[in-house]
Structure 1
Amino acid sequence: MNPFLLVSRSAEYESRLRALLGGRLTVITGEFLTFGVDAVMERVEGTPRIALLGPVLNFEETRGLLKELTERHPDIGLVVVREQRSDLEDWVDELSLHAVLSPLATDETTIELIRRLSAWLVVNGRADEQDFAMPIEEETGEASDDLLAALVSGAAAQTISDVDVDEDLVLELERDLDSLTQTEPEQEWEFPPLESGVRSEAIAVVAPKGGQGKTTIAINLATGLAEIAPNSVVLVDADLQFGDITAALGLTPERTIVEAAGAAAADELVLKTALTHHADGFFVVASAPSPEAGDAIAAAALAVLIGRLRTTFRYVIVDTTPGLGEHTLALLENVTDAIFVTNMSVPSLRAMRTEFELLRRLALTPANRHIILNQTDRQSGLTTRDVENIIGAPVDVEVPRSSAVLLASNRGVPLIHDDVRDPASKAIRSLVMRIAPDAQPKRARIHRRRRSNESE
């Protein structure tokens, strides 16, 4: 008989728990819940001692499983595997369970929780030591302070004090379980809720050709907007062939747009695990790991991804594939603003005019259009008026050519936080303020960040 049971829709979490618990873990995939809780319970063999439910199970599914497991196995230890979100307290209050474990908790934290809950079950007469005779893992020691802590409900802690056992042992276990309830201070990358009445904005950054500076504009726009909406900005690298936002920012993502645009990301937890956090207070959906993986993402899936992100984030910035392919057209149909980036070369300007004409014919011109003339140079032989005549539209922002752009990129620092005085930085800041007039530069923060990078 296996003492541990997992019901989950996450194949990744299943693999991870199998690696920790080996053959003593029984796994029932959450897909069986499509046929009801009974379909899962029919597959539960013997008398499991600890059941872990999740991740990617909703409240009703979890409540149904907890009810059936408690009725059939009254002594079972129950753990919900769920992200620490704003509604977590409601889950703990309304469900009869022993602990809540973050799916992002380290292996050491996970094992420590299982070890302590196993000991608590034995002390309270709910299990025998022989049920857990094989060691879960070699001693791991105390979990470090930066671990995502597991939560234990007040009801479980109360049950411990009601059992007539050795008082010293009860106090020791109670202290152990209480230590698991001590969560870390709220991390800076918690997702703040959207304020009532505030509309989420999705902004596509588009260019007719590569090499126009589109990615630089997208990165700095996200950085500037994050100053007024910290952790409520997400930058999506939807350049499916050769996106390089994470390289430009010095990030090492664990997951990419492949997972974010997948069917499993319909669950908010799965979607959030596909995000990478940047120190300047915004999130990134990394580009596909290869052109082949990017090609496998359907245009409709990208459109759905933008809709999902808009339910969580105040600003969704999308760096697109150059040109007006199927994926870029699908994105333009689902954004509130579009920023069109070009330089002063005649072929690029003519290509942008062609883009505008196509979008007008398809009725896909975004409600808010911003035209950026990038890398301007007095030696180009063209004036701004010439540019406007070629593209058939007025230029909104001119960004002068500057070596500071390359220097900031090589440092992995957004330009507007690297050199606030640079003319290109000022021009990009004016673009940020077109979107959000309150996005004034935070000079003290910018200078401090620059010095810290130079000292590295």
Structure 2
Amino acid sequence: MGVVHRGRGGELRADVAHPRERQDRQYRYRAGDREQRVLVSAYLLVSRSAEYETRLQSLLGERLAVIPGEFLTFGPDSVVSRVAGSPRIALLGPVLNYEETRGLVEALTAKHPDLGLIVVREQRSDLEDWVDELALHAVLSPDAGDDTTIRLLDRLAEWLVENGRAIASDFDAPAALEIDEEILGVLDVGLESGVDSSAPVPEEPEPEPRPEPEPEPEAPAWEFPPLDAGTPTEAIAVVAPKGGQGKTTIAINLATGLAEVAPNSVVLVDADLQFGDITAALALSPARTIVDAVADAAADELVLKTTLTHHEDGFFVVASAPSPELGDQVSPRALAQLIDRLRSAFRYVIIDTTPGLGEHTLITLEHVTDAVFVTVMGVPSLRAMRTEFELLTRLALMPGNRHIVVNQTDKNSGLTTKDVESILGAPVDFEVPKSSAVLLASNRGVPLIHDDVRDPAAKAIRSIVLRIAPEAFPKRSRIQRRRRSNEPE
């Protein structure tokens, strides 16, 4: 049921519902065919994260009004116009980029100069710029525990009261069906004399006391570590002239080895957009793929990180497109932008490319610091790689650091290392012997260098890792424990 007030401009209705059914106070103003929903609460959240919205509503209940960040598509004014009354504290984020946040800060403070502003954003290298350039009162991590969140809100509320920007009662839960004259004035709605506004208003049940916050859980082992300012980042393309050269195996184990020295700061991108199989080789079930990682929303680092799949060996994976048709939607330019974004957040970015020198592979080579070229000991493959080298040299696309890997070497192939170098026209950097352990590790979904550390192929791949990161010596006890934990019971 509800109490309806009719005015000159239309109809102002206060909807009555149990607090469990309506967490925020919402009033609807109708004028003709247009309906405007007016939010009246002490706290305001503008966010694109439904998960964070649900969590904050469970903490603040009807004291919180929520405006979905999707309204920012039409500009910050479209958000501010939905806010009536005088919210005291606004939380902006997560999943809002800098320009959106700046626009909101300017629009909200213009209308509510006494408003307390909190940006909800994880700690990262550019956060200091946000604090310096925006008129914010506090920064809150989206992963902060309930107790931490409440403490910060209470401290800011106390500061606003002490500085005359609010009164303590502003932060109380709003009374049921309370419609003050300020709201009516904003809406330019006057009450007609023929309406009895003194009718008794049904009382809303007292809200249940908020349960004591649970202890803040320990951070997960795979939490994204901050990338210190000035830390060099490296992007490494793994390239092969044809399929079946072992390129993906090299890429997976390279990411695994580098994750030992930069835990959770290594990301492996499956850029084989037609038939990438990194997630299959690692027994992963990704919720999102590279199609999501190159979407416009992923320009925000927080959104981008939600598209990654974590591997227990301490690195992340950008899964390949789920179908060739979807893979065709990933443009070369979008792939290049993805590499650059990942380099701003991770110490090492490894890209497993599409075989050959297609447009996606060429643009990848423009955005990397290193390239690992993989071939097998077959004359057709060796000649194809030499052709690649000649083309990349003419196009000035050969990365500054080039590493040549001859994979699946076999004494019975009829070729020597000298023969291989003669065909390639370049010296060989690494030889990885043919080994059944490679297939066994792949079938079990375990990186080779952590599955059988003594295997000759594993040792050879480890030498590739050491060339890029000399500190990446294997820790045998840890590796062997991982190996046993992955063995079938």
Same fold (TM over 0.5): yes
CA distance in 2: counterparts of 1:176 and 1:411, whole angstroms: 45
Equivalent of residue 44 in structure 1, options 83, 90, 96? 83
Q: CA deviation at 1:443?
A: 0.6
Please give the per-residue CA displacement for 1:332-360, whole angstroms capped at 9, x wherever unaligned.
Answer: 11111111101112221111111111111
Equivalent of residue 365 in structure 2, options 318, 332, 355? 332
1:192 maps to 2:226:
yes
> What is the total number of aligned residue pairs between the two structures?
395
CA contact (8 A) 1:226 1:281 kept: yes
TM superposition score normalised by structure 2: 0.70
For 2:109, what is the secondary structure of its paired residue?
Answer: helix
CA distance in 1: counterparts of 2:102 and 2:66, whole angstroms: 24
Q: CA deviation at 1:422?
A: 0.2
Matched with 2:198 is none
TM superposition score normalised by structure 1: 0.75
CA contact (8 A) 2:123 2:226 kept: no
Matched with 1:396 is 429
Matched with 2:72 is 31
Matched with 2:333 is 300
Please give the per-residue CA displacement for 1:118-140, whole angstroms capped at 9, x wherever unaligned.
Answer: xx9998763335369xxxxxxxx
For 2:421, what is the secondary structure of its paired residue?
Answer: helix
CA contact (8 A) 2:310 2:316 kept: yes
Equivalent of residue 256 in structure 1, options 286, 289, 292? 289
CA distance in 2: counterparts of 1:14 and 1:185, whole angstroms: 21
1:290 maps to 2:336:
no
Q: CA deviation at 1:44?
A: 3.4
CA contact (8 A) 1:206 1:214 kept: yes
CA contact (8 A) 1:261 1:302 kept: yes
Alignment CA distance shift 1:304-1:417 (3 Å)? same
Q: CA deviation at 1:382?
A: 1.6
1:437 maps to 2:470:
yes
Matched with 1:270 is 303
Matched with 1:135 is none
CA contact (8 A) 1:56 1:267 kept: yes
Q: CA deviation at 1:381?
A: 1.8
Matched with 2:273 is 240
1:56 maps to 2:116:
no
CA contact (8 A) 1:374 1:399 kept: yes
Q: CA deviation at 1:225?
A: 0.9
For 1:194, what is the secondary structure of its paired residue?
Answer: coil
CA distance in 1: counterparts of 2:285 and 2:374, whole angstroms: 27
Please give the per-residue CA displacement for 1:185-234, whole angstroms capped at 9, x wherever unaligned.
Answer: 464332232363x4211110000111110000000001111111112211
**Which of the pair has more CA radius of gyration?**
2
CA distance in 2: counterparts of 1:79 and 1:130, whole angstroms: 27
CA distance in 2: counterparts of 1:257 and 1:28, whole angstroms: 23
- Bigger mean CA deviation after superposition, 232-241 or 322-331: 232-241
Q: CA deviation at 1:47?
A: 7.4
Matched with 2:203 is none
Q: Give the aligned residue type for 2:222.
A: E
Q: CA deviation at 1:369?
A: 0.8
Matched with 2:24 is none
Q: Give the aligned residue type for 1:189.
A: E
1:320 maps to 2:353:
yes
CA distance in 2: counterparts of 1:439 and 1:79, whole angstroms: 41
Q: Give the aligned residue type for 2:318.
A: V
CA distance in 1: counterparts of 2:247 and 2:426, whole angstroms: 19
Q: CA deviation at 1:294?
A: 1.2
Q: CA deviation at 1:66?
A: 5.5
Alignment CA distance shift 1:265-1:372 (3 Å)? same
1:353 maps to 2:386:
yes
CA contact (8 A) 2:124 2:227 kept: no
Q: Give the aligned residue type for 1:452.
A: S
Equivalent of residue 67 in structure 1, options 106, 109, 126? 109
1:127 maps to 2:173:
yes
Q: CA deviation at 1:45?
A: 5.6
Q: CA deviation at 1:298?
A: 1.1
Alignment CA distance shift 1:101-1:440 (3 Å)? closer
CA distance in 2: counterparts of 1:409 and 1:31, whole angstroms: 45
Alignment CA distance shift 1:199-1:53 (3 Å)? closer
CA contact (8 A) 2:406 2:430 kept: yes
Please give the per-residue CA displacement for 1:412-433, whole angstroms capped at 9, x wherever unaligned.
Answer: 1110011110000000001111
Percent of aligned pairs with the same amino acid: 62
CA contact (8 A) 2:235 2:351 kept: yes
CA contact (8 A) 1:3 1:50 kept: no
For 2:249, what is the secondary structure of its paired residue?
Answer: helix
CA distance in 2: counterparts of 1:39 and 1:26, whole angstroms: 10
CA contact (8 A) 1:236 1:316 kept: yes
Matched with 1:411 is 444
CA contact (8 A) 1:261 1:305 kept: yes
Q: CA deviation at 1:38?
A: 3.9
CA distance in 2: counterparts of 1:330 and 1:410, whole angstroms: 32
For 2:176, what is the secondary structure of its paired residue?
Answer: helix
CA distance in 2: counterparts of 1:226 and 1:28, whole angstroms: 35
CA distance in 2: counterparts of 1:430 and 1:401, whole angstroms: 16
CA distance in 2: counterparts of 1:246 and 1:195, whole angstroms: 31
If each structure's helix is expressed as a fraction of its own residues, which one has the higher value? 1
Matched with 1:7 is 46
